[in-house]
Structure 1
């Protein structure tokens, strides 16, 4: 009598590493997905460029590629495939709508990112109608954003780290450490549970959405809490992006100090660049370098938080004073961060600069698509009542207090280092 073979399922983190690297390796092998055009200035451009047959074909090819990746992920994790076949096309089409809105000339002049519109469209639909189960089951927010984060590693090159220089890294370290501990202290003082406090602290201090995702993976955090934190990051990034350049001008800050302030304070990379553009070329360069320096700390922070969480939230350690084993720490560590680091090392030391130049724009477009899909999903599964009910007031206040502290302490550090 034959013994049935036990099917092995990959964890979510290892699955996104496999999928992310598959996308990267296909690109390196020359199989580049066509990149649709979303830029338009008027209705004539909209119909002749964005909605042209050739461009729509590129959009459909991308949809097919996204569905293949999603179905492959479901198979690797031994999860049902049907939700992705039925629901993912709807999420994709809503995301394309966000990309088209963001591609408008007027909107582009405001430097608003597509992910903001993805979130807003999702929130509008999710809060005005009852979503069917077949659509809810297709909202794999963390899978989408983690694939994007693995691909993001291809843009974090060692040569850029050297370019960031000592001042950028010094500011990043000072800001991350001081803001993280302040945010965590405020969260504890306000009686916020430690899981939410850690995610809030990482999001405010390191690099916004990416840090929140990495931290959630390190502590095996609740997905609803993660969606709440991500929503706060994106919502607050808009007014900061628009008003901080004007405040810097009123204070008479140089472009270098302003750039360092923007890069160390605003939580999303796109918003940092957009805000720096409102100041000048030097501000864009410094703000990008400083934000990049904080992004570099993502893997280090994820490892540190996973170790901290394992030691402080391990029942065996609490009951017997036994230190957690390396195996327990490894189990806690978010494996997709390894994909991020591995992609960075691959593009920094193995792939030739010519090849990197040839594929970077295509991979950046694909990365942006996965992020936009994730934020559409976040919007669809987030209710305003959850964001602003009485139970959410303390995390909201803690986030705003931490962000205010971040604004002032980063301004001081930026002034001392870059004046």
Structure 2
């Protein structure tokens, strides 16, 4: 019989767990899941360990009963390890590569993220979805998938089922885009460069972009990754905007001084700092390579932990609205990306 994972611990409970070593059982579970995900990815190189991690976590959550004592370690992995992994993403960004796209394509990337978030939020409101569910889907589908969803949750503190639903949707719809973008690009007669730019601008996860770009060709792969990383770069200002909104909403509360989030989350500062450091070219290639491995491990562990919150029963309870919004958001973001690529001309 299908079992479900209990909800994460509260912040005070988690701090208590940290001080008493209560993180260990959940962390060990996430370490095991990460190792398995990385092993599967090595056997099937085309499959990202992050995606495998989410799927393994979801299977575990819906087949086995996860002991309550593992909750603190799982919550730690889903939030804190995720933030470290997102910060390390900065090491994969070279500012010069993004500038090399040209100002026209940079404007397209800004439009994809800005209009993608705004349009998804608007449609979600028409569908009657709550603000948290809307903003999670909007950021995940417009910026960088599950990492953006988890980063957004770190700022707005959404419900577990809202985060889990958004992560599940970004995995499903992003995966569907992997064959769809190459096939549609060929049908439209796009050049390899244009198809790569469309893939980088339209697909949700970095790993999914790599898979689609590789299916199109080597030129498409290289340009797709740069366009996608340009979208990732916009995660920092978007999280700052979210944090500012939260601060304004909480300003009138008596305990506002205790609950207001920082204007710029620490992991976003780390992301920007590491990007700037990488852009100076002072880091040895070995350091960058190690950083990429550590980033992959941390994000895989956090994706496995997030997957443990993907429960079929909970997803059924949220209704069809998020699925409709995810569908429309995918079409909207893809349409903006394609129009932008055609206007810029490649």
TM-score when scaled to structure 1? 0.73
* Aligned mates of 1:132, 1:145 — CA distance in 2: 22
The structure number with the bigger radius of gyration is: 1
The partner residue of 1:130 within 49, 65, 70 is: 65
The alignment status of 1:90 with 2:29, answered yes or no, reads: yes
Deviation at 1:299, TM superposition (A): 0.8
The alignment status of 1:337 with 2:265, answered yes or no, reads: no
- The aligned residue for residue 414 of structure 1 is 341
- Aligned structure 1 segments of 4 or more residues deviating by more than 4 angstroms: 327-330
Say if 1:410 and 1:152 are closer, same or farther in 2 by CA, change over 3 A: same
The alignment status of 1:275 with 2:212, answered yes or no, reads: yes
- The aligned residue for residue 232 of structure 1 is 169
* Aligned mates of 1:329, 1:338 — CA distance in 2: 17
* Aligned mates of 1:264, 1:81 — CA distance in 2: 45
DSSP-derived class of the 1:118 partner:
helix
The alignment status of 1:157 with 2:94, answered yes or no, reads: yes
Deviation at 1:188, TM superposition (A): 0.7
Deviation at 1:315, TM superposition (A): 6.2
DSSP-derived class of the 1:137 partner:
helix
Say if 1:309 and 1:418 are closer, same or farther in 2 by CA, change over 3 A: farther
Aligned length: 331
8 Å contact from structure 2 (residues 200, 209) kept in 1: yes
Deviation at 1:330, TM superposition (A): 6.0
Deviation at 1:345, TM superposition (A): 2.3
DSSP-derived class of the 2:208 partner:
helix
8 Å contact from structure 2 (residues 41, 52) kept in 1: yes
Unaligned ranges ≥5, structure 2: 1-10
8 Å contact from structure 1 (residues 208, 267) kept in 2: yes
The alignment status of 1:252 with 2:201, answered yes or no, reads: no
The alignment status of 1:294 with 2:231, answered yes or no, reads: yes
Deviation at 1:211, TM superposition (A): 2.2
TM-score when scaled to structure 2? 0.87
Unaligned ranges ≥5, structure 1: 1-11, 13-73, 318-323
Deviation at 1:249, TM superposition (A): 0.8
* Aligned mates of 1:314, 1:136 — CA distance in 2: 28
- The aligned residue for residue 43 of structure 1 is none
- The aligned residue for residue 171 of structure 1 is 108
What is the CA deviation profile of residues 99-158 of structure 1, one whole-angstrom value per residue up to 9, with x for unaligned ones?
A: 111111xx22xx221111111111112111211122233202111211111111222223
* Aligned mates of 2:208, 2:125 — CA distance in 1: 29
* Aligned mates of 2:51, 2:261 — CA distance in 1: 34
DSSP-derived class of the 1:316 partner:
coil
- Structure 2 matches for 1:110-149, cutoff 5 A? 111-139=46-74, 140=76, 141-149=78-86
Deviation at 1:390, TM superposition (A): 4.1
* Aligned mates of 1:147, 1:392 — CA distance in 2: 33
The alignment status of 1:400 with 2:327, answered yes or no, reads: yes
Greater displacement, 265-274 / 223-232: 223-232
- The aligned residue for residue 380 of structure 1 is 308
Bigger relative contact order, structure 1 or 2 (CA pairs below 8 A, ≥6 apart): 2
Deviation at 1:364, TM superposition (A): 0.4
> What RMSD, in angstroms, separates the aligned Cα atoms of the two structures?
2.5
The partner residue of 1:370 within 298, 322, 326 is: 298
What is the CA deviation profile of residues 59-80 of structure 1, one whole-angstrom value per residue up to 9, with x for unaligned ones?
A: xxxxxxxxxxxxxxx88x8834
8 Å contact from structure 2 (residues 140, 149) kept in 1: yes
8 Å contact from structure 1 (residues 241, 275) kept in 2: yes
8 Å contact from structure 1 (residues 203, 211) kept in 2: yes
8 Å contact from structure 2 (residues 160, 309) kept in 1: no
The alignment status of 1:204 with 2:161, answered yes or no, reads: no
Deviation at 1:328, TM superposition (A): 8.6
8 Å contact from structure 2 (residues 243, 264) kept in 1: yes
8 Å contact from structure 1 (residues 347, 356) kept in 2: no
Deviation at 1:383, TM superposition (A): 0.8
* Aligned mates of 2:309, 2:236 — CA distance in 1: 28
- The aligned residue for residue 28 of structure 1 is none
The alignment status of 1:264 with 2:201, answered yes or no, reads: yes
8 Å contact from structure 1 (residues 192, 394) kept in 2: yes
DSSP-derived class of the 1:164 partner:
coil
Say if 1:252 and 1:367 are closer, same or farther in 2 by CA, change over 3 A: same
Say if 1:248 and 1:309 are closer, same or farther in 2 by CA, change over 3 A: same
